[in-house]
Homo-oligomer: A and B are copies of this chain.
């Protein structure tokens, strides 16, 4: 089944990476952009190279994306460099956490689960954390897989609002891309669900209940990922701040609407999956009824006839019928009559 949780260990006092992935070196990517242009620096685990090229200025927006969160020292240095609260490091490297938002005067911190349907029913889960501090956006991805290539393309080509807007708008775009993945996951589960009624009608094997429960479990997992994100985004309704400006708030409000819509859809699918359980058991019971009807018809038809044959197979000396010339055809006729009566009885019961 789609599993989102990893093993958790006690974390104290050294912050520890909690998760599965382990890569040799994290990849760091810096985008420095404003409306007229964009600079892009990529480095394998070498923060100094990034810092050298940063040249911080109020006139640009900065997006630093880190792939791989197991190198705690690197993340600490990054957090230090931007004068952020060190407590946040634990939240970034613990990839087993519940999604959450934390707002301080210093920054806005988001930790969300990105879901991507793999082949079949499995949904891969990745934790992505965001720190927004005025014109700087830091993002931390658990894995090297890529959810944001489309947005990088638009940044590079200067298409759309993205280069004209601040780092807060970029954060919105990234969260929106994650939300789109939720829709993709839900659509995948729904199309699996849509195949089931026909399969159940064709052959109500218990394997189909297994599949159904698997899908239901994934729907609950989906709900578990969406719900806290929805709760988190509601904070933007409190009004603009130094980090999220008033012109970007409507975009976040739209995101919240989408997530609300998603939980509604997920709930409906869960209800549907419960209905499919009823469908399964009704077809299983129907199968049993069919089998029993065949057994009952065949047995009820032939057992009385066999009895009759048995009677005239008895070896009594004195059995007058046996000596009649038309005894045999008479018995055959009687048997035919009996069979006909039984068939009419079954017809009337609507078993035939």
- Which residues from chain A sit less than 8 Å from chain B, CB to CB? 1, 5, 7-10, 12-14, 87, 90-91, 96-98, 100, 150, 154, 159-162, 173, 176-177, 180, 183, 187, 197, 201, 203, 205-206, 209-210, 212-213, 216-217, 220-221, 224, 250, 254, 257-258, 260-261, 264-265, 267-268, 271-272, 275-296, 298-300, 302-307, 309-319, 321-328, 331-332, 349-351
For A327, what are the chain B residues with a Cβ–Cβ distance below 8 Å? 316-318
Option from B250, B281, B284 in Cβ contact (under 8 Å) with A87: B250
Option from B9, B100, B280 in Cβ contact (under 8 Å) with A257: B100
Q: Is the CB of A296 within 8 A of B307?
A: no
Q: Is the CB of B309 within 8 A of A319?
A: no
Q: From residue A259, how far is it (CB to closest CB) to chain B in Å? A: 10
Q: From residue A105, how far is it (CB to closest CB) to chain B in Å? A: 14
The chain B residue with its CB closest to the CB of A312 is B314
For A305, what are the chain B residues with a Cβ–Cβ distance below 8 Å? 307, 310
Provided the pairs A307-B309, A310-B313 are in contact, do residues A10 and B150 lie with their beta carbons within 8 angstroms? yes
| Max chain B C-beta neighbours (<10 A), residue from A212, A276, A282 | A282
Provided the pairs A213-B278, A315-B319 are in contact, do residues A288 and B287 lie with their beta carbons within 8 angstroms? no
Q: Is the CB of B275 within 8 A of A217?
A: yes
Binding site secondary structure of chain A: helix
Interface pairs (14), CB distance under 8 Å: A13-B162, A97-B258, A205-B286, A216-B271, A216-B275, A291-B292, A295-B296, A303-B303, A303-B306, A305-B307, A306-B310, A310-B310, A317-B327, A318-B325
Give the oligomeric copy count: 5
Q: From residue A34, how far is it (CB to closest CB) to chain B in Å? A: 16
Q: How far is the CA of A82 from the CA of B261 in the complex (A)?
A: 30
Q: Is the CB of B283 within 8 A of A206?
A: yes
For A5, what are the chain B residues with a Cβ–Cβ distance below 8 Å? 265
Provided the pairs A213-B275, A284-B282, A299-B298 are in contact, do residues A257 and B98 lie with their beta carbons within 8 angstroms? yes
The chain B residue with its CB closest to the CB of A186 is B5
Q: How far is the CA of A7 from the CA of B306 in the complex (A)?
A: 63
Q: From residue A218, how far is it (CB to closest CB) to chain B in Å? A: 11
The chain B residue with its CB closest to the CB of A280 is B282
